[in-house]
Amino acid sequence: MNFNVIETKSVTISLYDKMRLMSLRRYIEDYEVVTFVDEKGREKRVMKYKGPHFSISILHMEYKPYRRLSYLLFGLIILLHISSGLTANPGMYQIYVALPYAVAFLPLTFLAFGIIGLPKDLAKIQRDVMERSFKRIKINTIALLIIFTLLILGEFLFMILHPALPHFKNEMLFLIPEILASTSMLGIFLLNRKVKVNPINNG
């Protein structure tokens, strides 16, 4: 009995595309998997974007200075926020001061991802890129402005309730960097308000 051996070539998808697909689950409808044959005759699959594109404009400002200033202000915020926490001030032992201070690190992390995710140029921005950079920056700056306000008000409340505090210098060493950090956060917020996002008609 004769048997015919049929040679099959498995369709592969690169590890990079697999990892990218996992990170873009919420945008899965914006992508399609395209199969092609490479120069060695092997079938491969790659992800191709088919979703909407957006045009980004920044009022009265070039994109490179906007991006550079966002990095600079964020680095300043991180430096100030961490340095203030290193002061041995009694106010940090109060829940209404310590809690906002600690909670701030969560939106700061998301803000970092948003700023790092800013595209190098503004040519036809994909929806996932737009939402994970510009939109993420907008949401987290608002959240951080609220948190920093609560933190500063909490510290002022502690100082009012304890007017004869012997560690007044330490409280100021904590408070001043946080005020400067919140001012820098306001700068990122106002900077992001200059950003205008408009959908591009692909038709």
Any idea what the CATH number is for the domain that residue 190 is in?
Answer: 1.20.120
Question: What tokens appear for 36 in the block?
Answer: 């092609």
Distance of alpha carbon 142 from alpha carbon 68, whole angstroms = 20
Q: What is the mean pLDDT of residues 5-28?
A: 52
Residues 81 and 139 in one domain: yes
Beta bridge partners of 31: 49
123 part of a folded domain: yes
Residues 95 and 168 in one domain: yes
Q: What is the mean pLDDT of residues 48-68?
A: 88
Residue 30 amino acid letter: D
Note the pLDDT of residue 112: 96
Q: What is the mean pLDDT of residues 143-155?
A: 97
41 part of a folded domain: yes
Least confident of 88-92, 112-116, 161-165: 161-165
Distance of alpha carbon 203 from alpha carbon 123, whole angstroms = 17
Model confidence at 41: pLDDT above 80: no
Residues 33 and 110 in one domain: no
Residue 98 lies in domain: 53-200
Higher per-residue pLDDT: 124 or 139:
139
Residue 139, exposed/middle/buried by CB under 10 A (0-12, 13-18, 19+)?
middle
Residues 33 and 86 in one domain: no
Q: What is the mean pLDDT of residues 134-163?
A: 94
Residues 42 and 133 in one domain: no
Note the pLDDT of residue 202: 61
7 part of a folded domain: no
Beta bridge partners of 36: 44
Instruction: Report the 10 Å Cβ neighbour count for 127.
Output: 17
179 part of a folded domain: yes
pTM of the full predicted structure?
Answer: 0.79
